[in-house]
C-alpha cells in the first residue's frame, strides 16, 4: 500500500482556512502520485481555539463541519483518510483530541481519543483536553491500523500494546515539539520514531506540523519508518507531501527473522 503524509502549518482560530488548505493538499496528493491508499495530516489539523475564545465555541462533534468535509473528500477521491486530529466536544467545557479514520466511501471506521496529554515542559494540555480511555485499532481494507497522537510516542507500552493486539501499521499525528524554540527535542523525535518501528517490528508513519503554532515551533520531519527501523520516506521542513510504500510481506519476513514476538518470555513480566 502507499501512504501520503501531508505536512503543513495549522492556523490557530481559522477553521475555514485549515479546511481549505487540507482539501488543496488532498487534491495535490492524489493528482501527483498514483495508487495512494491512505492520506495523513498532522495533530490539530483543524486548528485550535484562539486565545480568549472558549474551547466550547471552537470544538465540534464527530459529525460536525470538519469531519463532514473530510468525509466528502475521502468519498470524492476514493481514498482512506486520517485527516489529523481535531477538538471534539466533551463534557464540562472540555474537548477530546480526536483522530478519526475514514475509508474510501467517507465512512468513519473509528476514532481515537488521545490518552497521554502533554502536561510536560510547561505545557498543560489537560486544562482543556479530556483524556481518552483506551488504545484504538481500526480494521481497514489493508489490515489493522493502530492510532496514536504525539506525546503518546513517549510511552512505549502503547505502541507495544497495539502491536501485540495485531497492528499491521501504526500511525501517529503530531505537533512536536510544543513549547520553546530550544531545546528542539529533534533528537528525541528521531530516536523515538525509529524505536517505535524497530521494537515492534511494525511500519510506523507519523505526520508532524511545521511552522509556528501558539509561539511554539514544530519542525516537521514527517516520516515513514519500516520494521527494520529504517526511515524510508521523510519530509524536511516546510509544507510538503511525501509518499511512502508499506510492504507487508517484508514486514512479515522481518518479524519471522528477528523473532521477538515468538521468543517473548511472558512469564517473566510482572506488570
Residues 145 and 170 sit within 8 Å (Cβ to Cβ): yes
Active-site residue among 6, 15, 21, 43? 43
Q: Give the helix/strand (H/E) hosting 206.
A: strand 203-208
- φ and ψ of 169, to 5 deg: -155, 140
Active-site residue among 150, 171, 207, 235? 150
Dihedral angle computed from the Cα positions of residues 122, 127, 128 and 133, in that order, rounded to the nearest 10 degrees: 100
Active-site residue among 113, 114, 130, 194? 114
Does residue 50 have an active-site annotation?
no
Peptide bond into 221 cis (omega under 30): no
CA proximity to 162, closest of 141, 151, 146: 146
Does residue 150 have an active-site annotation?
yes
Report the 10 Å Cβ neighbour count for 38: 26
Does residue 113 have an active-site annotation?
no
Whole-angstrom Cα distance, residue 59 to residue 90? 9
- Is the Cα dihedral 121, 126, 128, 129 positive or negative? positive
Q: Which residues participate in catalysis according to the annotation?
A: 43, 114, 150
Amino acid at each position: 500500500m502507499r501512504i501520503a503524509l501531508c505536512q503543513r502549518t495549522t492556523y490557530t482560530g481559522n477553521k475555514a482556512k485549515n479546511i481549505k488548505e487540507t482539501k488543496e493538499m488532498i487534491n495535490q496528493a492524489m493528482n501527483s502520485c498514483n495508487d495512494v491508499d491512505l492520506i495523513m495530516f498532522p495533530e490539530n489539523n483543524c486548528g485550535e481555539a484562539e486565545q480568549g475564545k472558549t474551547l466550547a465555541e471552537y470544538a465540534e462533534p464527530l459529525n460536525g463541519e470538519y469531519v463532514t468535509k473530510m468525509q466528502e473528500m475521502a468519498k470524492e477521491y476514493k481514498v482512506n483518510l486520517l485527516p489529523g486530529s481535531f477538538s471534539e466536544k466533551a463534557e464540562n467545557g472540555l474537548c477530546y483530541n480526536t483522530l478519526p479514520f475514514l475509508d474510501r466511501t467517507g465512512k468513519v471506521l473509528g476514532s481515537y481519543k488521545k490518552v497521554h496529554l502533554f502536561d510536560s515542559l510547561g505545557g498543560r494540555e489537560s486544562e482543556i483536553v479530556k483524556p481518552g480511555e483506551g488504545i484504538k485499532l481500526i480494521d481497514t481494507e489493508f489490515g489493522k491500523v493502530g492510532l496514536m497522537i504525539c506525546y503518546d510516542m513517549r510511552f512505549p507500552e502503547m505502541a507495544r500494546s497495539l502491536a501485540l493486539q495485531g497492528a499491521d501499521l501504526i500511525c501517529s499525528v503530531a505537533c512536536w515539539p510544543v513549547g520553546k524554540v530550544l531545546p528542539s527535542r529533534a533528537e528525541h523525535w528521531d530516536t523515538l520514531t525509529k524505536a517505535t518501528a524497530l521494537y515492534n517490528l511494525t511500519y510506523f508513519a507519523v505526520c508532524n506540523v511545521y511552522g509556528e503554532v501558539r509561539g511554539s515551533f514544530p519542525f516537521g520531519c514527517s516520516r515513514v519508518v519500516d520494521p527494520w527501523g529504517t526511515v524510508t520516506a521523510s519530509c524536511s521542513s516546510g509544507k510538503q507531501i511525501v509518499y511512502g510504500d508499506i510492504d507487508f510481506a517484508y514486514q512479515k519476513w522481518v518479524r519471522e527473522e528477528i523473532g521477538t514476538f515468538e521468543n517473548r518470555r511472558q512469564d517473566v513480566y510482572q506488570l
